[in-house]
Chains A and B, each alone.
Chain A
């Protein structure tokens, strides 16, 4: 997994609330068997007409808004557990998604892919949208070590929560699997200690 230390970039505003993962990447694009290339279809039905022409009123098609940070309305990433949503956002080039509230599964998927979910207060989210609206060239800094997000122009800043284990993983580019694999012997021992055989109900007809 790619390390995450900090970013300083402009941001793309998507004030919609309850953005579900079916919008982030519609189900018909989930047929690939690799992790790459999903960025092309990120927000496909909001971004393109049925004939493939760009919808000019959608923010990703507006050249004024660029950057590695997506700032979104509350309850971002709700719905389907598809990790393809995190893959699509990362593949498109986002490193950070900011919202006042994230759906649980999406948050976990993002963290497993080096995409940092930054949860801020509704008031600070409002400030971020205002800063982008006032000047689309506004830059923002996200520092994982310090757990801060700040608006460069005003200096306004807020800290964001992150599980300490996840933070270490992201800062170093480790994923959960590296850690779990190191425990395999301990897991096997634990299995032996259970009062009932885990596989007692045999699953082979």
Chain B
């Protein structure tokens, strides 16, 4: 029988099916971090049970960590205590921790792929909604709550209802200056912030196939922003070559054997999806958001819509625009911005940093802008330094920080002040996401870099992108 890629992986992980139809789904890889795991470990302790398969859980500290002076103790007492609690819990329960000071530390969705822990065909969960990132490798990866973190720690399984299947096909060729971030912001703007709810998405088509692994991760990362549990892309040679030689990827003959298995991971030609969408890469332009959910996106050259999307309330639309300080029908190009943040599990990998460095080389950030770049991991930071990118950033007036989630959610000191605009490569423009009162404009790393240079919202295609 024909199957989708999603169903092939899901079916291979069903231990049993509970009365009522929910599956007991086996989880291959479990990532944890300091914010959503402490209560789960407390639960294990209260029940007096161990971690069932400790080798399949990997921990890192990312959400809370400072991005300056990481060699010193964390100043903020609550952040410090939460990071210390993670260290204690991992030691007590035998979980591998890549904590502060470890050469593998970084944002959980950056380190899993770069270490080769994330592999095709796996089931992967983490107490973080952007776990969907790992789907770029042809894995079923999704975010869970803390009660479920406890369930995975205790049994390596979750009770799950099979989601519906959606396929989003993007064919064609992207124009210069248009990145994978623009693809996913465009898709979410078309489908809306709840358009994927109840579904697991497969991204397909020639424009997706042409993307690097890191660009694919950016797409899958934001699947949750249209409500989808996750998104995945069938693995191909790009995937296999990315994984070859990575720390925890199979090596030698084991790698060849693994690739032989991974090559079966695709949706059969006549597999049926519950919902399909088709888009053309040529219709996609540099995107920005104008509102307070990621579905409120436009091409940067467009104006803010005059009215809410069909089915959305005027009150919520108006509240959102009031918060942002924008008017219906307003053109946003030329608007001053005070902050630019390049980082987060969406866009903090080495390719993002290379793109930004190439763009800002020989340019200077506007004096009115505070611009900072936060690499996704220690490995990304080391690579950037080895390539001299850090020098390019500093020469252009950007701060180059240490790895962590940083201003994506402002749990550490990296916050955007109330009322200020921040062009951000992160994934959420919710009210207060980057700090109370902060106004977030989501964009690609190129659009963010261009905003830093001009001090305004700008169409990056107005620059010479050849050099």
Against B, the Cβ 8 Å flags (1 = close, 0 = not) of A15-53 are 111101011001110111111000000000100001000
Asked if A113 CB lies within 8 Å of chain B CBs, one says yes
A114-145 residues at the B interface, CB under 8 angstroms: none
The 21 sampled A-B contact pairs (Cβ below 8 Å) are A20-B428, A20-B430, A22-B430, A23-B432, A33-B42, A34-B38, A45-B437, A78-B194, A78-B197, A82-B35, A82-B145, A105-B145, A112-B147, A165-B20, A165-B22, A183-B157, A200-B254, A201-B248, A201-B249, A202-B55, A202-B248
B39 neighbours in A (Cβ, 8 Å): 33-35, 83
Give the docked Cα–Cα distance between A12 and B236 (Å).
51
Which of A17, A22, A30, A112 lies in contact with B145, CB distance below 8 A?
Answer: A112
B250 within 8 A of A: yes
Known contacts A33-B85, A176-B158; 6 additional CB pairs below 8 A are A16-B319, A20-B430, A22-B433, A31-B79, A163-B20, A199-B55
Contact with A along B430-460 (1 / 0, CB 8 A): 1111001100000000000000000000000
Interface residues as binary, B169-199 with A (CB distance below 8 Å gives 1, 0 otherwise): 0000000000000000000000001100110
Binary contact track B132-164/A, C-beta < 8 Å → 1, others 0: 000000000001111110110011111101010
When the two chains form their complex, are residues B316 and A16 in contact, meaning their CB atoms are under 8 A apart? yes
Chain B residues near A180 (CB-CB < 8 A): 24, 151, 154-155, 157-159
**Which listed residue, B56, B78, B229, B436, touches A199 by the CB 8 Å rule?**
B56
Q: Given A33-B81, A101-B194, A83–B36 Cβ distance below 8 Å?
A: yes
Q: Nearest Cβ in chain A — how far from B93, in angstroms? A: 15
- Complex interface bits, A172-193 against B, C-beta within 8 A gives 1, otherwise 0: 0001110111011011001100
Q: What are the 8 A-B residue pairs with the smallest beta carbon separation, nearest first? A: A83-B145, A165-B20, A33-B38, A31-B78, A109-B145, A81-B143, A164-B20, A112-B147
Q: For chain A, which range describes its interface: under 10, 10 to 19, 20 to 34, or 35 or more residues?
A: 35 or more
A164: nearest chain-B partner, CB-CB: B20
Specify which chain A residues have a CB less than 8 angstroms from the CB of B227 in the assembled complex: 75, 78, 103-104
Whether the Cβ atoms of B151 and A177 lie closer than 8 Å is yes
Residues of A near B394 (CB, < 8 A) are none
Are B155 and A184 interface neighbours, CB within 8 A?
yes
- With A34-B42, A103-B197: A176-B159 Cβ-Cβ less than 8 Å: yes
Measured between beta carbons, the chain A residues less than 8 angstroms from B145 are 81-83, 86, 105, 108-109, 112
With a CB–CB cut-off of 8 A, which chain B residues contact A22? 409, 428, 430-433
Beyond A23-B430, A103-B194, whether A196 also contacts B155 by CB under 8 A is: no
Tell me whether A81 and B144 are in contact (CB under 8 A).
yes
Contact B409 A18 (CB under 8 A): no
The reply to whether A50 and B418 contact each other, CB–CB distance below 8 Å, is: yes
Question: Does A95 make an interface contact (CB < 8 A)?
Answer: no
Cα(A20)–Cα(B428), bound, Å: 10
How many angstroms from the CA of A22 to the CA of B193 in the assembled complex?
A: 15
Contacts of B52 in A (CB 8 A): 184, 187
Nearest chain B CB to A100 CB, angstrom units: 10
- Contacts of B150 on A, CB cut-off 8 Å? 177
Complex: A112 Cα to B147 Cα, angstroms: 7
- B53 at the binding interface (Cβ < 8 Å): yes
- What separation, in Å, do the CA atoms of A22 and B249 have in the docked complex? 36
Contact A181 B431, beta carbon cutoff 8 Å: no
**Complexed CA–CA distance, A30 and B85 (Å):** 14
Contact with A along B1-30 (1 / 0, CB 8 A): 000000000000001101111101010100
Alpha-carbon distance between A163 and B161 when the two chains are bound, in angstroms? 9
Q: Chain A residues near B436 (CB, 8 Å)?
A: 26, 45, 50
The 8 Å CB contact of A177, one of B63, B147, B250, B293, is B147
Known: A22-B433, A81-B145, A180-B154. A190 touches B159 (CB 8 A): no
Cβ-based interface call for B49 (8 A):
yes
Q: How many A-B contacts if CB must be within 8 Å?
A: 214
Complex formed: what's the CA distance from A101 to B158 in Å? 23
User: When the two chains form their complex, are residues B229 and A203 in contact, meaning their CB atoms are under 8 A apart?
Assistant: no
Contacts of B418 in A (CB 8 A): 50
Q: Which of A86, A101, A191 contacts B197 (CB 8 A)?
A: A101
- B155 proximity list for chain A (CB < 8 A): 177, 180-181, 183-184, 187
Q: How far is the CA of A75 from the CA of B197 in the complex (A)?
A: 9
Do A183 and B428 touch (CB < 8 A)? no
Task: A17 to B319: give the CA distance in the assembly, Å.
Answer: 10
**Of the candidates B24, B151, B194, B431, which one forms a contact with A23 in the assembled complex, judged by CB atoms under 8 Å apart?**
B431
Contact A183 B24 (CB under 8 A): yes
Residues from chain A with a CB closer than 8 A to the CB of B16 are 183, 186, 190
A59 to chain B, nearest CB (A): 13
**Complex: how many Å from CA A179 to CA B158?**
10
A78 contacts across to B, CB distance below 8 A: 193-194, 197, 227, 293
B58 CB-CB contact with A under 8 Å:
yes
A104 touches B409 (CB 8 A): no
Q: Are A163 and B22 in contact (CB under 8 A)?
A: yes
Q: Which of B413-429 contact A (CB under 8 A)?
A: 418, 428
In the complex, A45→B430 CA distance in Å?
Answer: 12
Which single member of B36, B82, B159, B247 contacts A179 (CB below 8 Å)?
Answer: B159
- For the complex, is A205 an interface residue (Cβ under 8 Å from B)? yes
A75 to B144 CA separation, bound complex (whole angstroms): 18
Residues of B within 8 A of A17 (CB): 312-313, 316
Complex Cα spacing A45 to B292, Å? 14
Would you call B127 and A81 a contact (CB within 8 A)? yes
B117 touches A (CB below 8 Å):
yes
Q: Are B430 and A164 in contact (CB under 8 A)?
A: no
Residue B119 lies at the interface, judged by CB distance under 8 Å to chain A: yes
A56 contacts the other chain (Cβ, under 8 Å)?
A: no
